[in-house]
Amino acid sequence: MKYVTSNRMMTGATVAVLLAALLTGISRSVAGPLSMARQLAGATVAKANRAATAGIVPAVYTVSYDVAGAYRTVQAAVNAVPVNNKRPVIIRIDPGSYPGQVVIPADKADITLQGTGAKNTQLTDDLPVRDAGKNGLPRGFMNTATLCIYGPHTTLDNLTVENSYVQKSNTNGNQALALTIGGDKLVVNHCRILGFQDTIYFSHPDPRAYFSHCLITGAVDFIYGFGTGLFDHCTIRNVNKGHWGSITAPSTPETQTFGFVFRHCRLTGLKSTPAGSVYLGRPWRPYGSTTFIDCYMGKQIRPVGWSNWKNPKLEKTARFAEYHSTGPGASVKSRAKWSKQLTSSQAAKITAARVLGSGNWWKIKP
């Protein structure tokens, strides 16, 4: 039996060798210390283990500027994945900066984008929401993110996704998305998601996403939208340099139990980020839901914590809560009276399974 990797053919024996290398995190094009190799295994190992258990060997594609026969862009590799694919796909991306938008369509599932370290492998673009597209109309939220994910069971592992528009133009107030999440069961492991306004967008209520040990940057409403996201041991860094900002802007439907949940995260800012300038969240829709559990909050967090978006009526419907916040920004006594401080028993019930559903699909094996 033969398998396809990139545009070459492989025997079953070769696949066994490749999987062994994958499971130890050894790249054929990037040599590194064993500690880094183990770190890089991450989500990809979990996916490879699941595939091996099911008797399905993942198809492997390589994106590289240096390797003969490899794809030169990430989008080219995604395009090569068969429509309605039945096999998991691992797209291994060598070190480098890869410009241009990447779209994973809804009819391509179980794709892993595996980098060689968040600082080594970078997907970058600079499309703003308001700029005109080919039809002369503004591009809009759905079509401008550096990485748009509409296929289910996608994994991002050890890479950076960046929208550099604001940094290049040095302007504020123009949305420029790094990541649009429109496919269910996304796992993001040891990644950097970098932007300014509207960094991560959950485009409709169905998507669920799990972020583990990631760095997420932004300044205004930079984690927002309709879906459910669990952020575990992540650094949430506000990069505004002199005006107000908000970390989350949930538009959670009334019938949805959770919107954005942060566990064991660190909320930080730049040295130039003013103290007391950042809200934890404001409700983009009436029943928006955000919860922080066991999180460190820096001085940039406003004592009041939460914004009603200049609409007192939203205080009766928005679902904003905290448990055991620490740090200079954890001003429990000064928090908005309409927000909630959870008890230990209430916080203990907010488990990954309750937030993300059954199936353990989010679990990342060491």
Active-site entry in 66, 198, 206, 232: 198
Q: Is 198 assigned a catalytic role?
A: yes
Residue 363 lies in a domain: no
- Residue 278 makes CB contacts below 8 A (sequence gap 6+) with 238, 240, 244, 245, 246, 247, 267, 269, 300, 301, 302
211 vs 273: CA distance, rounded Å: 25
Summarised one tens digit per residue, pLDDT across range 40-82 is: 444 454 455 455 446 689 999 999 999 999 999 999 999 999 9
**Does residue 214 belong to any structural domain of this protein?**
yes
| CATH number of the domain within which 170 lies | 2.160.20.10
Domain of 51, in residue numbers: 8-356
The CA–CA distances, whole Å, from 312 to 161, 235, 237, 338 equal 36, 31, 28, 10
Q: What is the mean pLDDT of residues 5-24?
A: 37
Answer whether residue 193 is part of any domain.
Answer: yes
Residues 166-222: tens digit of each pLDDT: 766 655 557 899 999 999 999 999 999 999 999 999 999 999 999 999 999 999 999
The per-residue pLDDT for range 275-313, each reduced to its tens digit, is 999 999 999 999 999 999 999 999 999 999 999 999 999
362 located within any domain: no
pLDDT of 17 = 33
Q: Is residue 361 part of a domain?
A: no
* Catalytic residue list contains 294: no
Residue 14's H or E segment, with its range, is helix 12-23
- Structural domain tally of the chain? 1
Report if residue 252 sits inside a domain. Answer: yes
Would residue 365 count as lying in a domain? no
Three-state DSSP state, 316: helix
Q: Has residue 231 been placed in a domain? A: yes
Pick from 237-241, 313-317, 319-323, 351-355: least confident: 237-241
pTM of the entire predicted model: 0.85
Gap between the Cα atoms of 355 and 290, Å rounded: 12
- How confident is residue 143, by pLDDT bands cut at 50, 70 and 90? confident
- CA atoms of 238 and 146, how far apart (whole Å): 20
> Pick the catalytic residue: 107, 221, 232, 294?
221
